[in-house]
Structure 1
């Protein structure tokens, strides 16, 4: 009789944070260390150790590695805890749950995240993000949603005001596919592309487009956003993966740097955008 496979840990992201906290606390006790002594060995505050063990703070992978060295954890445990720490620093938000909770609630979360972020890096693989979209394009992107999206449209448009906050810096890299995918009617697409061109004049916005052509040996697989250098979100058809581990963020920063080198900017970008908009108008 066949046995059902055990679900992978990546399906248990919600509980991994608490599992990690309990395991780290148990390892400290097995090592015969007080919270204060462990804190000194790790060059952390005792209050931080306490918050980690109580699940109130999500430790970074570097924090976990420091604790494991301090408690002299055996190699087998190190591998298990390190894997658990990486999962604890990753979150999955599936689109079905987001819709059930209300897509406008996700917009409120994004607004709060954007308020606390100084530097934004967006790579857009297949469509235009809400911060750059016209109202018609936003409505078109939500046209097939089974729930009412009127509040979501309003929230997306409200969020666009952050582009005019000159204390923040934005870099948007869009593929030709993202710009030209015919999500809405041709005349509406032309206006949307015009909006992209107009945003290139904002002093705190750097917008680049990657035309199809030439040689680009690195091929991105997903749309992603990096907030400062502390968080990265990766989007696909079924949901969003949120990375907080510094190594995952570093990998996305390296990829973004490569993709930046493929893009056209300023006048070259505006000329290409004008050509694409003209093609829609014709």
Structure 2
């Protein structure tokens, strides 16, 4: 099954309510997976980075401006990384380290945050190099919550996929991406390269 919910409908009261909903998803998910090719995964965003992202969402969709409240909820959601009850396998595209969100200061702090949390027991973070050849076609990013739902964030709507055969294809895609992804020190090296870039900008 595929569910489509337009963002303007879901954000009709602002960003705080939907962030509350996302917190519940993450609290209920014991093992999450994500592929995020061009931006930083929300659960690893700094407050400054998240503020820029949510401000752009509010401005673009012309929904009520409650950015500080939405950011506070996004920061609250990040507690799942530290409570010892959850685990996340996350692949970021190398482009995510260079997509300019808020300028060099914001990006430098974001790279430092990635390095700080890289070795958390709850997190397996990998970076897919920009020149990597994979066995799947390029695709948008998505999150998987346990094995029951895959979630996409598109321009105008959020998409939830729950059909088991479709979810199996998502797992297959993540496995293929993982084969070309850098983990451990190789991934840290890519983040450090991005940190140097934003520090010298």
Give TM-score, length-normalised by structure 2. 0.91
Corresponding residue for residue 263 of structure 1: 181
**SS of alignment partner, residue 100 of structure 1:** coil
Gaps of 5+ in 1: 1-88
Q: Displacement of 1:216 after TM fit?
A: 2.6
Q: Which protein, 1 or 2, shows the higher relative CO under an 8 Å CA cutoff with sep ≥ 6?
A: 2
Q: Which of residues 95, 100, 103 is equivalent to 1:182? A: 100
Mapped to 2, the partners of 1:268 and 1:214 lie a distance apart of 13
Q: Displacement of 1:241 after TM fit?
A: 0.5
Q: Displacement of 1:250 after TM fit?
A: 0.8
Q: Displacement of 1:238 after TM fit?
A: 1.5
Mapped to 2, the partners of 1:278 and 1:200 lie a distance apart of 17
**SS of alignment partner, residue 100 of structure 2:** coil
Mapped to 1, the partners of 2:134 and 2:166 lie a distance apart of 22
Q: Displacement of 1:214 after TM fit?
A: 4.0
| Larger fraction in helix | 1
Mapped to 1, the partners of 2:150 and 2:112 lie a distance apart of 28
- Which aligned segments of 4 or more residues in structure 1 are displaced greater than 6 angstroms? none
Gaps of 5+ in 2: none
Query: Which of the pair has more CA radius of gyration?
Result: 1
Aligned residues: 194
| Larger fraction in strand | 2
8 Å CA contact retained: 1:223, 1:236:
no
- RMSD of aligned residue pairs (Cα, Å): 1.3
Corresponding residue for residue 70 of structure 2: 152
Mapped to 1, the partners of 2:78 and 2:38 lie a distance apart of 20
Is 2:155 the counterpart of 1:237?
A: yes
Give TM-score, length-normalised by structure 1. 0.66
8 Å CA contact retained: 2:135, 2:177:
no
